[in-house]
Chains A and B, each alone.
Chain A
Amino acid sequence: MGSVDRPRPAKKTAKSRRNSASANEPEFVQLLTPEGQRRSHPDYDVKFTDEEYRGLYRDLVVTRELDAQGTALQRQGQLGLWPSLLGQEAAQIGSGRALKPQDTVFPAYRELGVQWCRGLDIISAFSLFRGVDLGGRDVAADRFNMYEIVIASQTLHAAGYAMGVAKDGAVGGDDGEAVIVYHGDGATAEGDFNEALVWAGVFNAPLVFFCQNNQYAISEPNTRQFRVPPYKRAEGFGLPGVRVDGNDVLASYAVTKAALDRARAGEGPSLIEAFTYRMQPHTTSDDATRYRDEAELDYWKAKDPILRYRSWLEAESLADADYFAAVDADAAAEVRELRQRVMDLPDPDVTEMFDALYAQAPAPLLEERAEAVAFRASLDEGSES
C-alpha cells in the first residue's frame, strides 16, 4: 500500500523531526497550520477583508452547531438518521464560500456546510432525514441539487449539467458559470466517478470535482479504495489535480476558487482532493469504534479546523472574545430555530407518494391513488368511531 500516503498517528522519526511539526502531513496546499500559523504557497493565496475573515469563522461555528443538532435530533428520535460533517467544516465552508452566485452545486449527502454557504434554507436536509419527504427542493432556482444518496451518481449528473453550461455558451470571463460536484473518497472507486472524469475531460466541461477525503468509506480506509490518491489520478484523465488541507478553511477556499475560475473561464475541469477527517461515525447508525481507535481521533483532533482558525484570528487581532461570544449566541439561536422547525415539520399526506412522480400521471396510477386515499380514509373513520 506504499503509494497511499495516509498519515499515521504521530510517531516521531529522524525524518519527521527534520521537517518540523507538519512532517507527517501528506503533501498538500496549506495556508494555515494546525497550530494556527499562516503559511505562504507559491500558487495559492487568499485576500479577505477583516469582516470576511470573521464571517468564515461564523460559518464554521454555525455549521458545526447545526450539524451537532442533527446528531442530537437523531438521538432523540426526531430524525431517522444523521450523517455528521464534524471535522469537515473547513473543506465545506472554504469551498462553499468560493462559489459565485451563478455557480451550481451537486452535493452528496453530507454537505450541510455548503448548503449553508449558498444562503439556502437547510430544512430540506432535515426533512429528508426525518422522512417527511425525499429531500426535494427547487434545484434550478437554488443552483444546489438534491442530496444524492447513491455514491458517485451525482458526478455524472454534474458532468452532464456542466456540458450543458458549455453548450449554452455560459463559460468565459468572470461572469461564466462553473459547476462543482462533492463526493467522498469511497466514490472514487465507483465506475460512475471514473466515467464522469472521462466525460468531463472529453467534453472539457466547466466542472470541479471536490473530493472530501475523510479517510473512510464507512469502515473502509483509503487503502481499500485506491493505491494512487485521487488528486494524482486526475492526471490520467487529462485533468489537473490538487490536494489541499481540508481542515484549513483558507487553503480550501483558495484552491477551490482557482479551480472554479479555471472552469468558468472555459479552461476545463479539475479535481480537488480535500484531505480531512470525519470525526463522527459515518452516520448515527454506524459504530466507528469497530474500525478506528482513540489515538487516531486524538491525532485528528489536534488538526481541528475551527481551533486553528480561531487561534489565528486571535493572534492577528481580527476577532476578540466579544466576537466569539456573539458567534456562539448566533449559532445557539440558529439551532433553536432549526430545532423548532424540524419538530414542526408536518407528516406528509398519503397522496404525496403518487403526485410528484410523473408530469402526466397514467390512469392506472390514478386508480391506485384513489384506492389508497379511500383506504386511508376508511381507517381514519374506523379509528374515530
Chain B
Amino acid sequence: MATMTMIKALNAGLRRVLEEDDKALIMGEDVGRLGGVFRVTDSLQKDFGAERVIDTPLAESGIIGTAIGLALRGYRPICEIQFDGFVYPAFDQLVSQLAKMPNRSGGRVRLPVVVRIPYGGGIGAIEHHSESPEAYFAHTAGLKVVTCADPADAYWMIRQAAASDDPVIFFEPKRRYHAKAEVDTTEAPLGLHDARVVRSGTAATLIAYGPTVDVALNAAAAAAEEGLELEVVDLRSLSPIDWEPLEASLRKTGRAIVVHEAPGTLGMGSEIAARLSERCFYSLEAPVLRVTGYDVPYPASRLEDDYLPNLDRVLDAVDRSLEY
C-alpha cells in the first residue's frame, strides 16, 4: 500500500503500461519535457524516450487522427487532450473514425487507443477549462467511456484502459487530482466497466461518477448525522453502464438521485433515470431525480459554486425524493 495523489497514481499506472508493453505510446501537447500541464506524465519522456512519449503539434484532430494511424500500424497510443474544452477540434476523428472504423472494417481492425481528458470544474479556471463533455462520447457507439474518482481507481483503470482493445475515453476529474488516498498496486479491485457501491445505505441511492462521487459521499456523511443512511454508487464506467448494481441498489432503496456536473438535459442522468424507470418501475417510491449543472455554458468561475452540484443541493434532492 502506498499513499498517493490521483496525479501520482495515474503517472504510476502509465509507467507500468510503458514498461509492460513496448507498443504503448503516450502522445499529446506538452506531455514530454514538461510532463503535461498537470504533470500526469512527469518524467516519463526522460525514462522512456521521446519516441514513446511524444510531444505533438498543437492540433487535437491531428493527435487523434495520427493515433488512429499508429494503432493501424500496431501501436497502442494513449493520447492526452489537455483540457475538456479542447476536445472538440478532435470530435470528428473521435466520433467518425475512432468509434466507427473497427465496425466499418467488419471487426478486422481494432483501435486500442486511450484518450485521457482532464474534466470538470471547481478549480477556478477560465472558460473552456471546466467542462464535462462525457455525454457526447457515451452517446457514441464504438467508444467506451470511463472515469475515476479516487487514486486507486486512477491507477488501475488507466492500466485497464490501456489493455483494452476497444477505444476508451478516459475522463480524469481534475479537481480530485491532488486528493490523496491509499493505492494497493498488487491487484485490481474491479474490472474497468464495473460500477461500485462505495457506501451502503437504505434510505435512497446517490448515483455519481468522477468528481461528484466525493460530493455524494459528503452528502451521505451529513445525512448519516441526521440518521439517514444513503447508499452511494460510483458509476465508474459511463459506457457501457454497469446496470446490475444500480438496479440492485434501487430495488433496495426505492429512491435514486443522479449527481453530475454536466448540464442535465440529455446528460448521463437522463439515460439513467429512463432506464431505471423501465427496469425498476415497481420498486420506485419516487421518480429518479437529477442534481446536475444547469443548462448553460460553464459559468465564470466566481459563479461555479452556484453551478456545481454540492452537498446542499444533493440533500435537498434527497428530501424531495423522500417526500413522495
Contacts and interface: CB of A to CB of B under 8 A. Distances in A.
Contact of B102 (A155, A158, A356): A356
Nearest to A124: B106
B107 interface: yes
A38 B92 CA distance: 45
Interface string A342-381: 0000000000100111111011110000000000000000
Interface residues of A, number: 43
Contact of B62 (A135, A195, A362, A364): A195
B70 A139 contact: no
A358 B102 contact: yes
Question: Which has the most chain A C-beta neighbours within 10 Å: B68, B103, B104, B241?
Answer: B104
A358 B164 CA distance: 10
A162 B57 contact: no
A362 B193 contact: yes
Interface stretch (A164-172, A277-285, A325-333): A164-172
B122 to A, nearest CB: 30
Interface stretch (A19-27, A59-67, A196-204, A228-236): A196-204
Contact of B93 (A135, A140, A146, A156): A156
A191 B68 contact: no
A159 B67 CA distance: 9
Nearest to B193: A362
Given A163-B66, A164-B74, A359-B165, A139 B61 contact: no
Given A156-B66, A356-B105, A364 B72 contact: no
Contacts of A195: 57, 59, 61-62, 65
A1 interface: no
B297 interface: no
Given A161-B73, A167-B75, A199-B57, A356 B65 contact: no
A77 B111 CA distance: 35
Given A150-B92, A153-B65, A356 B166 contact: no
Contacts of B73: 160-161, 163-165, 167-168
Contacts of A163: 66, 69-70, 73
Contacts of A192: 61-62, 65, 92-93
A156 B108 contact: no
A135 B89 CA distance: 26
B66 A360 contact: no
Contact of A356 (B56, B69, B107): B107
A302 interface: no
Contacts of B103: 134, 356-357
A355 B65 contact: no
Given A156-B93, A199-B57, A199-B66, A358 B142 contact: yes
29 contacts: A133-B106, A134-B106, A137-B105, A137-B108, A139-B72, A139-B108, A140-B109, A145-B72, A146-B104, A153-B93, A153-B97, A156-B61, A156-B65, A156-B68, A157-B69, A159-B66, A160-B68, A160-B69, A160-B73, A161-B73, A164-B74, A191-B59, A191-B61, A198-B59, A199-B56, A356-B105, A357-B141, A359-B110, A363-B243
**Smallest CB-CB A-B distances: 3 pairs:** A160-B69, A156-B65, A164-B73
